[in-house]
Amino acid sequence: MNRTRRKTRPRPKPQSPRAAPVDPARLAQLKAELRELRKQLLLERDDFQANEQAMAETQQELELSRERYANLYDSAPVGYVLLDREGFIREANLTAARMLGVDRQILCEMMLARFIVESDSRRKLLKHLANCRRSASPVQGTTELKLTAADGRQLDVALTSSPEPSLGKRPGKVRLHSVLEDITARKRAEEALRRSEKLYRAIGESIDYGVWVCAADGRNTYASESFLKLVGQTQEQCSNYGWGDVLHPDDAERTIAAWRTCVRTGGTWDIEHRYRGTDGQYHPVLARGVPIQNEQGEITAWAGINLDISRLKQAEAKLQELTQRLTYHVDHSPLAVIEWGPEMRLVRWSGAAERIFGWRAEEVLGRRIEDFKWVCEADQTQVDEVRTDLASGANPRRFSANRNYRKDGSIVHCEWYNSALLDADGKLRSILSLVLDVTGRVRAEEQLRLLSAAVESAGNGVAISNRQGIVQWVNPAFAKLTGYSQAEAVGQNPRVLKSGRQSAEFYREMWDTILAGKVWRGELINRRKDGSLYSEEMTLTPVRVDGAEISHFVAIKQDISARKQAEEALRASEARFRSVFDHAATGIAISDCAGRLVQCNAAYCNLTGYSQSELATMELSALILPEDREQERDFIRGLLDGGIPSYEIENRYRHRDGRPIWMRKHVSTLRDPSGEPTHLIALVTDMTDRKQIEETHAFLARSGYQAGSEEFFRALARHLGQSLGMDLVRIDRLTGDGLTAQTVAILFDGKFEDNVAYALKDTPGHDLVGQTICCFSRDVCRLFPRDAVLQGMEAESYIGTTLWGLDEEPVGLIAVAGRRPLLNPRLAESVLKLVSVRAAGELQRAQAEAALRQARDELEERVRERTAELRRSNENLREEIAVRRQAEQELAEAELRYRTVADFTYDWEYWETPDLRVNYCSPSCERVTGFSAQEFVGDPSLLQRIVHPEDAALWQKHREESLAATEPRAIQFRVVKKDGSVRWVEHAWQPVQGRDGRFLGIRACNRDITERKANEIQTQQLREELAHVSRTTTAGHLAASLAHELNQPLTAILSNAQTARILLAADPPDIKEIRDVLDDIEYDSQRAGGVIQRLRALFKKTGQQRGLLQINDVIRETLDLLRSEFVVNGVSAGVHLEPELPHVLGDRIELQQVVLNLIVNAMDAMSESTPGQRRLHISTCGEQGGTIRISIRDSGPGIQVQPVSQLFEPFFTTKASGMGMGLTISQSILEAHGSSLHAANNADRGATFHFNLPVHRIENA
């Protein structure tokens, strides 16, 4: 079981002997842990139980499985046995026990070998077991054994064994699982098959034409189709001895008898006989047959064939004819036929003899051999000897080769084939000679002998081989060359010489050439007999005899090993020198005297950047910078004149990519044998690095400390850019914590840019800080994808150095970047290291200077500020003086102005002295009253007299009160004009006091407000109209909730009425209950009536009806109207009415309208809020100053308009459906009640509208 279980062991709790104060947090944690642990334990318990069950099930399954396998084991068709190392059977299945005929128990104590009788099988078994034990592989091959069962049965068994799979046991000690397969039946079947196979093999062996089979007693059992077809019999007809019926009558008896004999003796059947074919002709047939024998040698059958030999017979006839024809041909052959009679007189002289010897037959016939000069004298003795031999009969057939004379005296070489014909008593009857002219052959042989002598003695090895390549002959030189003696070489295939150095292709090409009849020539490396290699040049010539097929090849071999070796040495030497040339680190260029390149090495190409082919098209001096060319000219001249042997020079080259390279060059000449210079050899090395280091040193020395630091950094940047060939140079000062840098010089593409501060993060600078050198030769752009500068310029390379301060802290960076890969990082590194010390010093010096400068600047700044302050206060003083002076002047002007204003004011102004005399009256009094100013000044009682009688009391009261008053007062009253008309006057009264508080008199201002009064009345009427319209609108708005308000009592009434009817139907009816029902109906009816009444009041159009009111009642009635509305809108209304408030004077309907209007507005404002948040608060409270404050507070979004007073303007609305008149009307109603409406946003949320109503004073009533 492979489980990973998280073990959450409770941590050992800290146990203290004394009760430590329990940390509640710790306790909680422990509890949580305990809970977790308990949960874990429960889960574990569950799993444990489940596992237990699972295991029980597994065991049961295993048991079943074991039983199944046991059954399988016993019922298997093969026997299983387990053999221990001694070969004892330790376990066996039932099949094995049955097979061996032993009870299983007993079998398990026996050796397997006990069942083997045959020694061959015993040996096989031992070998099998040994093999199995020795081998590591599980299953071994099958061994077939013959066993003898305990009951004597013979068994053929196939034995397969595999070592018991057990670890750690050495092979050979293991037990074997063996499988015994009873193959007895199979063996028998095989035997039968083998016999049958034998039979057919016999048939096959003799098959030619017509197969037949006969039984052991000779009766035919089978004849093949072809035979039956030949004789026109069916198989049945042919069976037994039916075939005898179609035999030729002459052959029948003989054949049958012979067959019987053959069957009896068991010999081979072979006979020629004739069968009558269906075509009516007799066919000669050769019959052959063999007896088929079983293992005991008994004949079980006969099998054979019938061969139609009619064609054979025909062939015999043809042969005879051919022989005759051959004889004819012999007669007419080129051989001369000559015959001598008994006395050696010529009796026969054939045409060929005439051709060979030139004599015609009539010239020689009848003559003796001595009669004409015919035999060469040199050969006379030989010829005589032959003749004697022949004539004596000692050697009747005698061959001789000798020279004869032709008729014209020329010599002809002849071969004589003589035979003597003797009669019965040994007397010579005639000599017959066949003569062959071999003159041509002899001549050729002689020539060949001559040639071969020449060849034999030749220095070149010569070998002649036949068409198959087998060596026929070799000369001694060949033997010397190859180490094979002539005798050894002949009969060999030239393959023995193969060294393996030439490819199969090479040989194929060679054979193709020579088999095509062409001569092949080539060099090849061969191996001698002693194994050493040699080079040879071989010419292979195919030889055709008489232009026919190729019959021979002649190989002529020349040893060229020495030449080859010399060549090889030369080539190796050349390669060595070339290698030196090619791989030299120094650039080498060989040019002709005119400076054109002949050859250069790879180093030279690398240095200049040009390929050799490019260089070949240009003059080498063009590589040198024009200004450096001149200095070399004299040297070259001197070199070519022979004045100097060589020279060395340093000058600048232009690399192919444009950059200059400093080269050190050593030039010498190559001269021909006569001493004339032929070539110039230049050895060049790149010394740019050294030069640049030198230049950097020079630069540092040049830029002294006098220069300002900015100039220094710019010069440094420029120097680095040029000398390193980079596109961007940046010198930074590290600021802050080393995470940001402030540049002191940026050189980009040759131009300086403005200094910037930047963060080092994501730039190579980040890596650089704290390291002396940081170099990215290529791909820097890809490494720093977020560095905008590197990305922008598509930088390829980057190298930077840290500038170290005196305190060993990094103070700055120098970074250079280029668009090309950095070719020489080492140089760049050296240069940067060189300048870094100086740059760091400069950076620190600049920093110190900057600090100093800043301190000085700060001081100056402070002085400037103080000066400015002083100047400012001075100016203020001056301004003040000027202002005062102006004020004095203005005062004088004002007096004049005020007087003018008073005189020309529209209102009627007058002044009274403290003793109530009029001392000034403005001229406008005449317009208001018809009386002149003089009249008022002259008559103090005039004012009193013109007051309208109805307002006289008011006026009188005002006069009395005003005597004690110190505050301004105002009253309105009517006056009667001089012409008798009545005017409304607004009288504003004001006591005037001097600066010292002295009472100076009274100023009064009277304004004619007659027109305004008329307007006011008209406005009042309009307002009432409007208020009514507004009320009805509001009532319409409330219709839905009012309907609901009506619905409630109606529902109750309806329900009660129906219930009452049911109650009445009961027997007896519950009278008390019915009375209750009727009471409820009455109550609800009144309730519905009340609703309707209130509604009607809203619709009623009334004039102003002022009366004493309890404002709380007014508010309650309004809330009654709105009850349903609150419910519908989900508004919770809080009401706080201060009890026992004094009365106010006012119009009930109008005030109700104001409250209604404000509440409806508040609900509208809250309609956007969530229902739970809609809170309305209505309150009343008495306030100081004799007013009652009525507030309506909502929790809506508040007033959004500014200024708030805008709300009260006509037609201003924030509602989609509003008229924009509600608040305006409310305001006007309140104004008519001596009050006004105020609105303000609450501190938390929503807005509050409030108004104060003046309390009605009873004493004033």
Partner 1 sequence: MNSGAPTVFVVDDDASVRKALARAIQTAGMSVSTFASAREFLDHGAPPPGLGCIVLDVRMPGLSGLDLQAELSARNIHTPIVFISGHGDIPMSVKAMKRGAVDFLTKPFKVTDLMAAIQEAMRKAAQLEASRAGQAEMQRRIDLLTPREREVLNLVVKGLLNKQIAAELGAAERTIKVHRGRVMQKMQVQSVAALVRAVESVKHEG
Binding site for partner 1 (CB under 8 A): 1-6, 39, 42-43, 46-47, 50-51, 53-54, 57-58, 1040, 1043-1044, 1047-1056, 1058-1059, 1062-1063, 1077, 1080, 1083-1084, 1087, 1124, 1126-1128, 1130, 1132
The rounded distance, in Å, linking the Cα atoms of 492 and 473 is 10
The minimum distance between CB 1056 and partner 1, in angstroms, equals 5
Q: How far is the CB of 40 from partner 1 (least distance, A)?
A: 10
Cβ closest to partner 1, residue 53 vs residue 196: 53
Name the minimum Å distance from CB 1248 to partner 1.
23
Q: Closest CB to partner 1 among 285 and 1088?
A: 1088
* Residues 6 or more apart whose Cβ sits within 8 Å of residue 920: 902, 909, 910, 911, 937
Q: Min. distance of Cβ 46 from partner 1 in angstroms?
A: 3
Q: 54 or 361, CB closer to partner 1?
A: 54
Asked if residues 770 and 757 have their Cβ atoms less than 8 Å apart, the reply is: no
Helix ranges, 369-485 (H): 380-392, 439-457, 476-482
Q: How far is the CB of 1 from partner 1 (least distance, A)?
A: 5
Strand partners, 1161: none
Q: Shortest Cβ distance from residue 8 to partner 1 (Å)? A: 13
**Closest C-alpha to 987, from 899, 935, 925:** 925
Minimum CB distance to partner 1, residue 1047 (Å)? 4
- What's the min distance (Å) between Cβ of 1004 and partner 1? 60
CB of 1095 to partner 1, least distance (A): 16
Q: Name the residue among 116, 103, 114 with its Cα closest to residue 144.
A: 116
Measured from the CB of residue 1104, what is the shortest distance to partner 1 in angstroms? 36
Q: Going by DSSP bridges, is the β-strand pair 810-818/797-804 parallel, antiparallel, or unpaired?
A: antiparallel
Distance of CA 344 to the CA centre of its chain: 115
Q: Which two tokens stand for residue 985?
A: 């006057």
The two structure tokens encoding residue 478: 């060949």
| In the complex, minimum distance from the CB of residue 11 to partner 1, in angstroms, rounded to a whole number | 22
Nearer to partner 1, 43 or 454 (CB): 43
Cα–Cα distance between 159 and 125 in angstroms, integer? 8
Report the residue number, 727 or 1080, with the smaller CB distance to partner 1.
Answer: 1080
Tell the smallest beta-carbon distance from residue 1136 to partner 1 (Å): 17
Tell me whether the omega of the peptide bond preceding residue 949 falls within 30 degrees of 0, making it cis: no
Q: Which helix (H) or strand (E) holds 291?
A: strand 282-293
What string of H, E and C letters represents the secondary structure of 22-72?
CCHHHHHHHHHHHHHHHHHHHHHHHHHHHHHHHHHHHHHHHHHHHHHHHHH
Strand order in the sheet with 550-559: 471-474, 461-466, 550-559, 533-544, 520-527
* Residue 114, phi then psi, degrees to nearest 5: -60, -25
Distances (CA, A) of 1098 to 1035, 1039, 1233: 7, 12, 19
| Residue 1128, phi-psi category: left (phi > 0), alpha (psi -120 to 50), beta (remainder) | alpha
Shorter beta-carbon distance to partner 1: residue 545 or 1065: 1065
The CA distance from 1149 to 1102, in Å, is: 9
Choose between 120 and 1079: whose C-beta lies nearer to partner 1. Answer: 1079
Cα Dmax for the chain: 234
Q: Are 723 and 745 in contact (CB under 8 A)?
A: no
Q: Identify which of residues 419 and 1048 has a Cβ nearer to partner 1 in the complex.
A: 1048
Whole-angstrom distance, CA of residue 207 vs CA of residue 921: 178
- Residue 221 or 1055 having the CB closest to partner 1: 1055
CA distance 861 to 797: 47
Residue with Cβ nearer partner 1 (452 or 1132) = 1132
Least Å distance between CB 114 and partner 1? 48
Q: Where are the alpha helices (DSSP H) in 146-294?
A: 184-206, 225-231, 235-238, 249-265
Assigned token pair, 933: 């100013």
Closer to partner 1 by CB, 844 or 1124: give it: 1124
Between 5 and 318, CB nearer to partner 1: 5
Q: How far is the CB of 1035 from partner 1 (least distance, A)?
A: 17
Identify which of residues 32 and 759 has a Cβ nearer to partner 1 in the complex: 32
CA 760 to CA 749: how far, in whole Å?
22
Nearer of residues 46 and 880 to partner 1, judged by Cβ: 46
Closest of 184, 188, 212, 180 to residue 95, by C-alpha: 180
- Smallest separation, CB 5 to partner 1 (Å): 6
- Tokens 């440094």 sit on residue: 716
Cβ proximity to partner 1: between 82 and 1052 the closer is 1052
By C-beta, is 978 or 1075 nearer to partner 1? Answer: 1075
Half-sphere exposure of 543 (CA within 13 A, CB side): 15
Q: What's the CA gap between 517 and 510, in Å, rounded? A: 11
Minimum Å distance from CB 1063 to partner 1? 7
Alpha carbons 288 and 277: distance in angstroms, whole number: 19
What's the min distance (Å) between Cβ of 1163 and partner 1? 14
316: left (phi over 0), alpha (psi -120 to 50) or beta: alpha
Q: How far is the CB of 4 from partner 1 (least distance, A)?
A: 6
Closest to partner 1 by CB, 78 or 1074? 1074
Residue 1175 dihedral angles phi and psi, to the nearest 5°: -120, 135
Which is closer to partner 1, CB of 886 or CB of 1047? 1047
Strands 1175-1183 and 1132-1137: parallel
* Beta-bridge mates of residue 553: 465, 542
